Amino acid sequence: MSEFLMSLIPWATEVILWVQSFSNPFLDGLLTIATLLGQEEFYLIFLPLIYWCFNKRIGIGLAYAFLLSTCLNFFLKDLFGIPRPDDPRIRFLRRETTPSFPSGHAQGAVVTWGYLATQWQNRAFWAAVIVLVSLNSLSRVYLGVHFPQDQVGGIAIGILYLLAFNWVTANWGGTLAKLPVVAKASLLALFSIALIVAHPSEDTATTMGALSGMGLGFLLEGKFVGFSADGLWWRRVLRFLMGLILIIVFYVGLKAVFPTEVTPSLALACRAIRYGVVGVVGTFLAPWIFVKTALAEAKT
């Protein structure tokens, strides 16, 4: 498979050059914005937004779907090891250093927007999903950071993954939900640690730290808070702003506090802890504050 993908690089480079032949300031701006919808900072805001302000159940499912998909993408990138475009004729509007195939932006867009579409079942939203995924995928080729086959692969893997994720949650979600809180927290921690050990990288530490932290926060929130994401629009706006400030404080603050001159293993541990704490803050501490400040009601 890797040999086949490598053989496509000359053809794919010509496709990138053809796409970039339409370059103009408007497309530069539009597709730069489109690619930002696949960045870490976007999901740092978007995942809590759904959980806090729209639908808590869907927010929880989206977090698990996206983070597990992201970890899968890292494994596949290293498995195939396809280099990024580097032809000097290409106009590079961004630079990326990780392997190229499959596209994390395309896969993440399919999983994120596709998951929401499967939950909300709205034709207009499905149409918006197609536009968002298309723009996101096109932007990566236009910016010179991906080959077209990376986007096709990312979309295909995202679709297959989403079908599998929805099947597993539909058939096994109830069984997992019946496990004691301690058992669920232990399984989550062991799973995250095992993946970091199996694939020791900053990306895996980031994703698994966030997954374990958010998962623990979901469990604690369900047991001790039980907030409702419903409410008047202004309460939802204030929840979002207050929660976002909390996340930014911990996200930036822990980065400044944790040491930088450490061994690689300790650096990965610190990174996982940092994202884990941010995850707990977003999924447990913030909802607790929402209830205490009457910005959200607690379901009894």
Q: Which residues have a Cβ under 8 Å from the Cβ of 39 and sit 6 or more positions away? A: none
Q: Which residues have a Cβ under 8 Å from the Cβ of 35 and sit 6 or more positions away? A: 94, 105, 136, 139, 140, 143
Cα separation, 281 vs 213, whole angstroms: 8
The better pLDDT of the pair 114, 185 is held by 114
Which residue type occupies 212? S
Q: Give the percent of the chain with pLDDT over 70.
A: 100
Q: For the residues 87-92, what does the mean pLDDT come to?
A: 92
Residue pLDDT, tens place only, 19-44 = 999 999 999 999 999 999 999 999 99
Give the mean pLDDT of the chain: 93
pLDDT of amino acid 2: 80
- Return the CA Rg of the chain: 20
Q: Are residues 280 and 213 in contact, defined by beta-carbon separation less than 8 angstroms? A: yes
Q: Is the pLDDT of residue 51 over 60?
A: yes
Q: Is the pLDDT of residue 258 over 90?
A: no
Q: For the residues 200-204, what does the mean pLDDT come to?
A: 90
pLDDT of amino acid 7: 86
Taken in order of first residue, the domains within the chain and their CATH numbers are: 1-178 (1.20.144), 180-300 (no CATH)
pLDDT of amino acid 121: 83
Q: Give the percent of the chain with pLDDT over 90.
A: 76
How many of the other CB atoms lie within 10 Å of CB of 7? 10
Query: Model pTM?
Result: 0.94
pLDDT of amino acid 264: 85
The least confident of 120-124, 241-245, 251-255, 257-261 is 257-261
Q: For the residues 73-84, what does the mean pLDDT come to?
A: 94
The least confident of 68-72, 91-95, 214-218 is 91-95
pLDDT of amino acid 261: 77
Q: How confident is the model at residue 257 (pLDDT cuts 50, 70, 90)?
A: confident
**Distances from the Cα of 265 to the Cαs of 70, 240, 248, 252, in angstroms?**
21, 35, 25, 21
Q: Is the pLDDT of residue 300 over 60?
A: no
Cα separation, 138 vs 260, whole angstroms: 36
Q: Is the pLDDT of residue 146 over 80?
A: yes
Q: Are residues 28 and 92 in contact, defined by beta-carbon separation less than 8 angstroms? A: no
Q: For the residues 281-294, what does the mean pLDDT come to?
A: 96
pLDDT of amino acid 182: 87
Copy the structure tokens of residue 107.
Answer: 């896969």
Residue pLDDT, tens place only, 150-169 = 999 999 999 999 999 999 99
Give alpha helix (H) positions in 121-230: 123-142, 148-177, 181-198, 202-224
Which residue type occupies 292? K
